[in-house]
Chain A
Amino acid sequence: MKQATFDPTNIICGAFFILVGAVFAWQSLEVELGSWLRIGPGGMPLALSLLLILLGLIILLAALREVGEPVGAIAWRGIVFITLAPIIFGFTVRGLGFVGAVFITALFASFASLRMTPLRALLLSAALAAFSTAVFSYGLGLPFERIGPWLR
Chain B
Amino acid sequence: MDLLGNLALGFATASTLANVGFCLIGVLLGTLIGVLPGIGATATIAMLLPITFQIGDPVSSLIMLAGIYYGAQYGGSTTAILINMPGESSSAVTAIDGYQMARNGRAGVALATAAIGSFVAGTIATVLIALFAPPLTTIALKFGSAEYCSLMVVGLVMSVALAHGSVVKAIAMVVLGLLLGLVGQDVISGASRLNFGLIQLGDQLNFVAIAVGLFGIAEILRNLEDERTREVLMARVTGLMPTREDFRRMAAPILRGTALGSALGILPGNGAVLAAFASYSIEKRVSDRPEEFGRGALAGVAGPESANNAGAQTSFIPMLTLGIPANPVMALMIGAMIIQGIVPGPNVAAENPALFWGLIASMWIGNLLLIILNLPLIGLWVKLLKVPYYVLFPIIMAFCSIGVYSVNSNVWDLYVVAFFGLLGYFLLKLRCEPAPLLLGFVLGPLLEENLRRAMILSRGDPTTFVTRPISAGLLLLAVAVLVVVFLPSVRRKREEVFVEEE
Q: Pick the interface stretch among B170-178, B232-240, B339-347.
A: B170-178
Asked if A109 meets B397 with Cβ closer than 8 Å, knowing A27-B196, A102-B402, A142-B406, the reply is yes
User: Residue A147 at the B interface, CB < 8 A?
Assistant: no
Chain A residues 114-145 with CB under 8 Å of chain B are 114-116, 120-121, 124-125, 128, 132, 136, 140-144
Interface members, chain B 300-342 (any A CB < 8 Å): none
* A8 and B188 alpha carbons, distance in the complex (Å): 42
**Which residue of the partner chain B has the closest CB to A37?**
B460
Report which of A17, A35, A45, A75 forms a contact with B222, defined as CB distance below 8 A. Answer: A75
What's the Cα separation between A36 and B457 when bound, in Å?
11
Task: Return chain A residues, CB-CB under 8 Å to B191.
Answer: 31-32, 40-41
A-contacting 9-mer, from B77-85, B243-251, B266-274, B426-434? B426-434
A21 shortest CB reach to chain B, Å? 8
For B155-196 the 0/1 string (1 means CB < 8 A from A) is 000000000001011011001101100100010110101111
A136 to B48, CA, bound (A): 11
A12 lies within 8 A of B430 (CB)? yes
A71 at the interface (CB under 8 A from B): yes
Across-interface contacts of B415 in A (CB, < 8 A): 86-87, 90
A136 touches B402 (CB 8 A): yes
The answer to whether B451 touches A86, judged by C-beta atoms less than 8 angstroms apart, is no
Within the assembled complex, what's the spacing in Å between the Cα atoms of A106 and B182? 33
Closest chain-B Cβ to A45's Cβ sits at a distance in Å of 5
Which residues in A have their C-beta under 8 angstroms from that of B135? none
Q: Complex: how many Å from CA A59 to CA B404?
A: 34
**A85 and B414 alpha carbons, distance in the complex (Å):** 9
Nearest-neighbor residue (CB-CB) of B52 within chain A: A140
Docked Cα-Cα span, A48 to B431, in Å, equals 21
Residue of B nearest to A36 (CB): B460
Tell me the complex Cα distance, A52–B51, Å. 35
Interface flag for A151 (CB, 8 Å): no
CB contacts under 8 Å to A, within B454-484, are 455-456, 459-462
Q: Check B456 against A38 for contact (C-beta < 8 Å).
A: yes
B140-148, B367-375, B388-396 - interface stretch: B388-396
Q: Hey, which chain A residues are within 8 Å of B196, CB to CB?
A: 27
Asked if A94 is at the interface of the complex by the 8 Å CB criterion, the answer is yes
Contact B169 A124 (CB under 8 A): no
Please, what's the 1-or-0 string for B390-432, where 1 marks a CB less than 8 Å from any CB in chain A? 1101110111111011100101101101100110011001111
Interface Cβ pair total, 8 Å cutoff? 207
Asked whether any CB of chain A lies closer than 8 Å to the CB of B7, the reply is no
Interface size on A, residues (CB 8 A): 76
In the complex, B231 has a CB within 8 A of chain A = no
Contacts A79-B422, A90-B411 given; does A113 touch B172 at CB 8 Å: no
| Closest-CB distance, A50 to chain B (whole angstroms) | 10
CB within 8 Å for A106 and B460 given contacts A31-B191, A79-B221: no
Q: Are A140 and B51 in contact (CB under 8 A)?
A: yes
Interface: A67 (CB within 8 A): no
Q: A100 in the interface, Cβ–Cβ < 8 Å?
A: no
Tell me if B225 is interfacial: C-beta within 8 Å of chain A. Answer: yes
Tell me the bound Cα distance from A107 to B395 in angstroms: 10
B227 at the interface (CB under 8 A from A): yes
**Cβ of B350 < 8 Å from any Cβ of A?**
no
Distance to closest chain B CB from A98 (angstroms): 8
- Given A49-B179, A71-B429, A132-B402, are A59 and B172 also a contact pair (CB < 8 Å)? yes
Residue A73 at the chain B interface, CB threshold 8 Å: yes
A20 interface residue per 8 A CB criterion: yes
Q: How far is the CA of A63 from the CA of B422 in the complex (A)?
A: 24
Confirm or deny: A64 has a beta carbon within 8 angstroms of a beta carbon on chain B.
no
Q: Is B500 an interface residue (CB 8 A)?
A: no
Residues of A within 8 A of B176 (CB): 17, 20, 52
CB of B452 within 8 Å of the partner chain: yes
Please judge, given known A-B contacts A31-B191, A44-B182, whether A140 and B54 are in contact too, CB under 8 Å.
Answer: yes
B171 x A55 contact (CB < 8 A): yes
Whether A37 contacts B455 by the Cβ 8 Å rule is: yes
A120 to B172, CA, bound (A): 43
Instruction: Looking at the assembled complex, report how far the CB atom of A88 sits from the nearest CB atom of chain B, in whole angstroms.
Output: 8
The verdict on B226 contacting chain A, using a C-beta distance below 8 Å, is yes
Contacts of A136 in B (CB 8 A): 51, 402, 406
Q: Are B451 and A107 in contact (CB under 8 A)?
A: no
Within 8 A of B (CB), among A86-104: 86-87, 89-91, 93-94, 101-102
Assess the A86–B404 pair: CB atoms within 8 A: yes
Shortest CB distance A112–B (Å)? 6
Identify which of A71, A83, A101, A109 contacts B393 (C-beta below 8 A): A109
CB distance from B368 to the nearest CB of A (A): 27
Q: List the 8 closest pairs (A to B, CB-CB), nearest first.
A: A37-B460, A78-B224, A41-B186, A90-B414, A89-B401, A113-B390, A109-B397, A13-B430
Apart from A77-B224, A113-B389, A132-B399, what are 14 other A-B pairs with CB-CB below 8 Å? A13-B432, A17-B176, A24-B194, A37-B459, A38-B460, A45-B193, A79-B221, A79-B422, A83-B421, A89-B414, A102-B402, A106-B394, A106-B397, A116-B394
The 30 sampled A-B contact pairs (Cβ below 8 Å) are A13-B169, A13-B431, A20-B176, A24-B179, A31-B191, A38-B452, A39-B452, A40-B191, A41-B186, A43-B452, A48-B175, A55-B172, A55-B175, A78-B220, A82-B220, A83-B217, A83-B221, A86-B397, A86-B404, A89-B405, A89-B414, A91-B411, A106-B397, A112-B220, A113-B390, A113-B393, A116-B394, A143-B409, A144-B406, A144-B409
